[in-house]
Amino acid sequence: MNLTFATAGRVLSQLRGDHRTVALIIGLPCLLIGLIAWMFHDRPEVLDQFGPMLVGLFPLTVMFLVTSVATLRERQSGTLERLMTTPIRRGDFVAGYGLAFATLALVQAFVVVGFALLVGMDVAGPLWLVIVVALLDAILGCTLGLAASALARSEFQAVQMMPAIIFPQLITCGLLMPRDQMPQVLEWLSRAFPLTYAIEAMTSLAAGDEWVDIRGAVGVIGLFIVGAVVLGVATLRRRTA
């Protein structure tokens, strides 16, 4: 446990000195939501409809990109190989990274949800649940990024992973078209993607649903997080040539 906290502290210390990454994690989702609010300033119902979906989407996407690149950088710099010669275990490394980015994700969730409300988004459901789901989405992005980094051999390939993993989910998650109106094969496929459940939970909260209505979707998100962590631990020893 001490090694996990030490790893988390090291990562957070590095992030404090990387102002551009912090700006990307915190500022980019706010910027995009602000642009949409400005674009549809005379149609506030658009932000009410799509704002909660975007609050679930942007943290996942941004945290996926940042985490996958940061983890791969540890491999390329030799930091990971040096760490593996110490008593630190793979689980400590992944848990430490997850804890560090989860801390940042918590800040991101509060800032993004608060900003969305500030620019006019209206949510009928409990606000605390919106923050919880946004936090889980960001953590999901972190864990998926950790798992995806094992497949990349360079930072460029890590960036390429994002459209390969995220874009199919964007098409089928219900953001562009209600899932029940999709071809049946695509509707079935959407059930295998975690973003589907993130969008489902946020849409339900926007409509005024409570915890009992979204607990199934939240549970599935949690299972995807656990699965991505297990995959990240299992592939951590992979080298980047």
pLDDT digits (tens, 9 = 90+) for 14-56: 777 778 888 888 888 899 899 988 998 888 888 888 888 888 8
What pTM, to 2 d.p., does this model score? 0.85
Tell whether the model's pLDDT for residue 239 goes beyond 60: no
Quick one: average pLDDT of 99-112? 86
Largest CA distance in the chain: 59
Q: How many residues does the chain have?
A: 241
Tell whether the model's pLDDT for residue 96 goes beyond 50: yes
Give the separation between CA 142 and CA 228, rounded to whole angstroms.
9
pLDDT band per the 50, 70, 90 thresholds, residue 79? low
Give φ, ψ of 28 to 5 degrees: -60, -50
